[in-house]
Amino acid sequence: MHASISVDCPEEILLEVHASREEFAAILKETTAVALFRQGRISSGLAAKWLGLARVPFLLKAMEQGARLLDQGEEDFRRESSFL
């Protein structure tokens, strides 16, 4: 099941970022997925699935946007590496 969400956005923002409505929706989706992952609110697997990516490319994208993948030490490392 999928849910669609409508977001009000002034046209000036679309002009400022040089994006169509569809391009801006994709930017919002990616930014939100990475932010929710960084906050620990969704898993990397769920975020990757939402964006239509495999988990490793999502993790690389998240790292490019400042996500730290191993904040919890050895246990976190074991959990994350078990998915590779």
CA–CA dist 34, 30 (Å, integer): 6
pLDDT class for 1, splitting at 50, 70, 90? Answer: confident
Average per-residue pLDDT for the chain: 87
The amino acid at 9: C
* Exposure b/e, 31-50, CB count within 10 A at least 16 = b: eebbeebbeeebebeebbeb
**Roughly what angle, to the nearest 10 degrees, separates helices 44-51 and 55-64?**
100
Residue 11 exposure: Cα atoms within 13 Å on the Cβ side: 0
User: In this predicted structure, what is the pLDDT of residue 26?
Assistant: 95
